[in-house]
Amino acid sequence: MATSSPNISARIFYGLRTDIQYNAHYLTESEIIYPAGGVIVIHNHLQKKQKFIRLQDKHKPIKSLILAPNRRWLALNEIAEEGQKPIITIYDLTTYKRRKILTVPFENSTAKEFACVQFTFDSKYLVAITGEPDWYLYYYNWDKGKVESHAKAQNPSGQGIVESIQCNPTDATLVVITGPFTFRIMNVAETVWRQWGWCKAENINITSCMWLTSDRIMFGTNDGVIMVVENGELRQNCVFRATEIMEMSLKKVEAEAEEGEKVSISSKQDTTSEPTVLEESYPVTCFVNFPKGFAFGCGPGYVHMFEKETPHHWRKRNVYRISKKSYKHTREHPLWSPLDAIQHITIDPNQETLLITTLRKQLYYAKLFGQHMLQNPEIAFAELGPAMHYGPINSLSMCAWKPIFMTSGELDKSIRIWNYMTDDVEMIKLYQEEIHCVSLHPTGLFAIVGFSDKLRFMVVLIDDFEVMREFPIRNCKRAKFSTNGQMFAAVNGQVIQVFSSISFQNVYNLKGHNGRITCLAWSANDLTLVSCGMEGAVYEWSMSTGQRVGEFILKTNQFNACAVNSIGKSAYSVGSDGEIKEIGSNTLRRNLGLINCALDTIVLSRSDMMLFITGGEGGVTSVQLPLLDKAIFNEFHVHNKKVTCIALSYDDQTLVSVAQDASICLWRLTNADGRAIALDKDFAYSKEILISKKDLQEKINSINLLSTRMSELETEHTYQLRQAEATQAEKLKEVHEGYCAAIEELKEKNEQMENEHTHEIGMIQQDITKLRSGHERTLQALEADFNIKLISEYDRYQSLEDKTARMRKDYEQRLEELAESKRQALREMNNMFESKLEEKDILLQELQEQADMETKEHETIKASIEEDADREIIEIRTAYEVQLKEEKDANVRLKGETGLMKKKLISANKEIDEFKHQVSQLKAEHKQFQKVISTLERDVADLKKEISERDGTIQDKEKRIYELKRKKQELEKYKFVLNFKITELKNQIEPLERDIKENKLRILELEVSLETLLKQKDFRELKINQLNEKLSSAKKDFMSEAERNLTLKNTLKKIKIDLHNMTANFQDPAKLKSNVKALFHKYVEDIDFVRSRVAEDEAIREFNRQRDHLEKQVAALKQQLSKSVGGSKSDIGKIMDENCTLLTEINNLRTELKSTRTRCFQMESILGLSARYIPPATARAKLKHVTEDREKIDENFKQKVEEREEIIVALKEENERLLSKVRCVEESDMMTEVDNDVNKNEG
């Protein structure tokens, strides 16, 4: 026997707390974190697995849930209880444990909650603002648990409310605080907070805000307007109407007077005095920013998403909305329900999915960047996970043959079937009437449902519930099938009616309860039924005789639930006294207390060895069986609201609990070995479903219609293909002829260009030989002149060295004399200052003696003052001690009087409570009587309505039967005709299908060859363009070199003439010198100038050449881009047409086939490869010949260009060498002139 109570662990928990702000976040692309019940759920929606963070106090209210930007930390903003401070709890999302607790650091704070909390962009700091009346901002270094700075968050005027704080995405010291009539940008520097920028929002009701970029803030208002603050200034030209704007441009431009989609708004008083707009305005809520754009909520269930095109421009891409056809929109709200208002928006890390929460207990998602709004104006949200109830779940029933259970909703008036193996909802059905109870047959194929007007026996079909039988039981609160399903019991007022599930006869009417019946329990053999009620009675009924065989009554307790063991000998019941009672043989065997609060539900396993009880605020308790003198139990918490129903699966391995907040928990039994019932080895859950014959026939008919339609479309397609092939063949022939002529013209142009190129190269070689011979002659003459000048310069250098040696000796003697004079002056200064120091020392000693005398006098005065002060203190102490004794005596008297008053007050309070209790009892009785009266009146009205409705339905059904008979005869005739046509069409289709397959294969082969030819053509065109550009650049370089050579020849001729004229003055050195100078000034400066000009001209020519080349490239790229854009637009049009109908899709395929074939024939005709004119072997030879000729031309041209470049480099080197020699000659002349001047000065 097991010695401990069974353990359970939560496997899946369905639910969502909508009273918490920011109640859903993405951790990864597949994991979502959200609060539900008394835990934080981390839900992997791809693997359908969950992890839980259990809260320390599951009943403590939570204001908001904040995720850090690095998605590692989670902050819970908890509301304080009376007399306590609000706290922020931070959890580590890697270990799922609590990391830090933050609270208000000051004792005098009276705030009960933090109005808003936010992490900085680096997740190191946390900014929090307390609520009213403080409105204080705290800047936490949360890892160290200390407040680094604080400031007043409200407007300086004390007006406005703070609802949100947003931290800058790049600066941790910058925040924006917003709320109704509040807007403040604040910056912290060295623990001091300062406000800057625009803050005049006294007349603007701000509802949502975000940082669009690091310097732009976007906020929305209550009247549907979006505004932008940039660098602390309100952009008057960037004010938008949220529901109308299609694109946003935030460039810094001057505001225009009127713009199409912008509305100018200012924060002055005149905004409130505008005329009322006819259209209803909705607040802008839930701003969320992500790298590719931003999204916000505005309108009834709408989410608007803008895509970022440039850093200053956003365009609306999609509008999302909760579908109008969603099952949740009941008949009370056919289009829009206030429960569908957007509460929170979040984006996954990969920016692929948008997730929202509403006031329903449901997560919704939509794919980002799917179809554009031009294709689909409204994209519908889908439910993430199973579709939940949105009100209390009032009934639960488990199936034996299938892994399913059924629930019913009190507010949404729906029935849902859940599969606890696949963790999904299999069926949802909405009703107009209120649903009070459900019970599922053990086979899972039938169900009984208690509506407000009747009890209905239903058949569970594949996608619907079909009513099979109705019973006149109104407001049936409890109904249950027997364990084996052959009977079911239903509560009718204070009577239990037992019916047969096969004949639907009322087998027994069990009377005995005189209060509301709260629970029914069948034994495993269906021979015993146990019931309990609010009057404190537990009755045992025999199903073989219909008589009461056992009873237990305890009037001080109200029983809420009961369970019976498999043989029906003992029962367990729980109630309002919080105790579990074991009843057997009409006696109370054991009465054990559990959790000190009322117990609500109880369930016993089929093995009679496991007992589960719920009670209090959401606790599930497992109790050890058999019961001992003291109960041994374990309590498990996931729910934080009252658990309304609990059920155990057929194999005793899964426990299901449902609560008032519409949450559902699937528990796994972890140590059920030895306790769970042993099933057969061959046991397997049933997979069969029911479907009506009518639905099956409709589906077969629709399949037949679609197949006939497909055959018709195929015949149309083959006929149109043949027509297209004929037209394409004619077009290809015309294109082939045109391209052949173009190729011949290109060949002729290439030959002409080659001839011109060879002629130009010969001319360049002749010019180079002439220049080389002239340079050699000038070099020889210059070398002879420079040797003479070097000898004279050497002599001059010798004389200058002697002169510098003499000057060095003179300077050294002068320096020694100056040093001796300075030393003498220093000695005299030292003597003078030493005499002054001795005088100051004597003065200091005299002053110290005076100070000692004054301190002695001060000490004597101090001693006398202290004695006087001690005397006064003793006198005052004695006086106050006397007063203290008197006060104590008075306190003792007052305490005695207050004790008497307290006793009187307690007795008075007791009397008041008794009177209140009597009043409440009388009121409750009065309400019960009123309810009985109202129910009776409603019954009368409902019966009258039913009579009138049934008369109408009978007439309608008779008319419908007559029409259906007529239609049946016509359809039989039509069916005979169609069968004959189908046989004929099938005979025609078979040969056509073979032709289609052959043509498809041929098309695929042609498309492959076409692609290869297109690629070769593009490559050849690129190569031709490159060679043309190289040839033009070579021509330009050649012309520039020719011009330069001419100028150099002219200058050389002039230099030769001037040198020849100078030979007459060889004997006269002075004249020779003056002539050389003149020659130098005449030609050297001119040559430098020409050289600089030539270099500038070369740079300008090179720039122009590159610019022309780039302009050509840009033009070519523009043409390619325009072609590609045109192609993409046509493709978009085709795709839109394809989506319309199958016929339009076939037409588009035909047009694409035409275009591809025309391109194929065009390429073949260009290259001379058309199969109609040239065989494949000759086509390959032609192609090879063309490419080989081209490559040879390219190689020859490259070799010639390289040779010319080498010659040009050699010439440049020779020019530089000659110029360097000329500079040396000029420098030597300058040195001789300097020597002459020095000699003259010395003389």
Residues composing the chain? 1243
CA 434/CA 452 separation, integer angstroms: 5
Q: Name the phi and psi angles at 816, rounded to 5.
A: -65, -40
Per residue in 775-830, pLDDT (tens digit) is 777 777 777 777 777 777 777 777 777 777 777 777 777 777 777 777 777 777 77
Q: Is the pLDDT of residue 258 over 50?
A: no
Burial classification of residue 953, based on how many CB atoms lie within 10 Å of its CB (0-12 exposed, 13-18 middle, 19 or more buried): exposed
> Of 156, 153, 84, 80, whose CA–CA distance to 118 is shortest?
153
The upper half-sphere exposure of residue 441, i.e. CA atoms within 13 Å in the direction of its Cβ, equals 16
Q: Is pLDDT of 405 > 90?
A: yes
Q: Is the pLDDT of residue 158 over 70?
A: yes
Does the pLDDT of residue 1216 top 80, yes or no? Answer: no
Banded model confidence at residue 269, pLDDT cuts 50, 70, 90: very low
Strands (E), 80-232: 87-92, 97-103, 114-119, 126-130, 136-141, 146-152, 164-167, 174-179, 182-189, 192-196, 206-213, 216-221, 225-230
Whether pLDDT at 563 is above 70: yes
Task: Give the pLDDT band of residue 273 (cuts 50, 70, 90).
Answer: very low
pLDDT of residue 1053: 81
- Closest by CA to 435, choosing from 460, 463, 416, 461, is 416
| Alpha carbon separation from 1060 to 73, 218, 594, 909, 1071 (Å, rounded) | 96, 87, 133, 141, 14
* Side-chain-side CA neighbours of residue 1122 (13 Å): 6
How many Å separate Cα 1140 from the centre of its chain?
A: 33
pLDDT (average), residues 505-513: 92
Res. 366: pLDDT tops 70 = yes
Q: How many CA atoms lie within 13 A of 119 on its CB side?
A: 21
Tokens of residue 795, six digits:
């002599």
CB 603 within 8 A of CB 563: yes
Which of 82-91, 232-241, 461-470, 1168-1177 has the weakest average pLDDT?
1168-1177
What average pLDDT does the segment 252-270 reach?
Answer: 41
Could you tell me how far CA 671 lies from the centroid of its own chain? 41
Nearest to 143 by CA among 65, 77, 90, 96: 90
Which tokens sit at 988?
Answer: 């025609």
Question: For 751-761, what is each residue's pLDDT tens digit?
Answer: 888 888 778 78
Q: Which helix H or strand E contains 1180, and what residues bound it?
A: helix 1176-1242
pLDDT at position 456: 95
409 vs 391: CA distance, rounded Å = 6
Q: At what angle do helices 1069-1140 and 693-1062 cross, to 10 degrees?
A: 170
**Rounded CA separation 1020/1018 (Å):** 6
* pLDDT tens figures, 172-227: 999 999 999 899 999 998 888 998 888 888 889 999 999 999 999 999 999 999 99
The amino acid that residue 449 corresponds to is V
Q: Return all residues near 509 (Cβ < 8 A) that are at least 6 apart.
A: 495, 496, 497, 498, 546
First to last CA, the chain: 137
pLDDT at 641 exceeding the cut of 50: yes
For residue 621, pLDDT over 60 is answered with yes
Would you state the pLDDT for residue 1134?
Answer: 58
Q: 624 CB contacts (<8 Å, ≥6 apart)?
A: 2, 3, 4, 5, 631, 632, 633
Distance of CA 993 to the CA centre of its chain: 50
* AA identity, residue 1136: M
Residue 403, SS3 per DSSP = coil
Return the minimum-mean-pLDDT range out of 181-190, 254-263, 365-374, 486-495. Answer: 254-263
The three-state secondary structure class of 557 is coil
Handedness of CA 159, 160, 161, 167 (dihedral sign): negative
b/e burial code for range 138-149 (CB count within 10 A of at least 16 → b): bbbebeeeebeb
What pLDDT shows up at residue 263? 41
Average pLDDT score over residue span 1016-1029: 80
Per-residue pLDDT band for 329 (boundaries 50, 70, 90) equals very low
d(CA 528, CA 557): 24
Higher pLDDT, 849 or 289: 289
Least confident segment among 421-430, 693-702, 853-862: 853-862
Q: What pLDDT, on a 0 to 100 scale, did the predictor assign at position 1142?
A: 66
Whole-angstrom distance, CA of residue 455 vs CA of residue 480: 12
The amino acid present at 1205, given as its one-letter code, is E
CA–CA distance, 666 with 13 (Å, rounded to integer)? 6
CA distances (Å), origin 944, targets 183, 470, 819: 62, 18, 137
Percent of the chain with pLDDT over 90: 31
pLDDT at 1089: 52
| pLDDT attached to residue 91 | 93
Closest CA to 631 of 52, 4, 1177, 11: 4
pLDDT by residue (tens digit) across 911-935? 787 878 888 888 888 888 888 888 8
For residue 967, the model assigns a pLDDT of 82
Q: Can you give the C-alpha Rg of the chain in angstroms?
A: 51
Question: How many CA atoms lie less than 13 Å away from 1237 in the CB half-sphere?
Answer: 6
pLDDT category, 657, cuts 50, 70, 90?
A: very high
Ramachandran region of residue 377, left (φ > 0), alpha (ψ -120 to 50) or beta?
Answer: alpha
The two structure tokens encoding residue 190: 């060295």
Instruction: Please tell me the distance from the alpha carbon of residue 647 to that of residue 7, in angstroms, as a whole number.
Output: 16
Can you give the pTM of this predicted structure? 0.59
**Would strands 379-384 and 313-322 be described as parallel, antiparallel, or unpaired?**
parallel
